[in-house]
Amino acid sequence: MKTLWDDVKTWLSDATKTAIKEAEDLSRKGKLKMEMMSLSRHIEKKMAELGGMVYHTLSQAKTSELGQNEKVKVYFKEIRKMELELKRKQKEWKEK
C-alpha cells in the first residue's frame, strides 16, 4: 500500500521532470528567437547596403533601366531632398 509520502515523492518527481522539460523547451525557443532576430538584422543591413549601392549607381549615371522605374524615381527624389536638407542643417550648425 502506498503511503502519503510515496504519493508526494511521485508527484514531486513528475513535477520536476515536467518543469525541466518546459525549461529546456523555453531555452530552445529563446535561442531560436535570438537567432531569428540576428538573421533579420543581417538581412536588413544587407538590404540597406544594397539600397546604398543602387542609390550611388543612380546618382552617378544619368541613364539606367532602374532609373526609369517610377517608384525608384520617387525614392531617389526624396533622398536627394533629405540630403540637401541635411547639408543645409550641417552648414547652419557650423555657423552657430
Q: Whole domain around residue 72: which residue ranges?
A: 65-96
Residues of the chain with pLDDT under 70: 62-64, 66-67, 96
Residues 36 and 75 placed together within one structural domain of the fold: no
pLDDT at position 38 is 92
Residues 7 and 32 placed together within one structural domain of the fold: yes
pLDDT at position 20 is 94
How many structural domains comprise the chain? 2
Residues 39 and 80 placed together within one structural domain of the fold: no
At 87, list the grid cell: 547639408
Q: CB–CB of 55/79 below 8 Å? A: yes
Residue with cell 508527484: 11
Residues 43 and 73 placed together within one structural domain of the fold: no
Tell me the whole-structure pTM to 2 decimals: 0.55
At 40, list the grid cell: 533579420
pLDDT at position 13 is 92
pLDDT at position 7 is 84
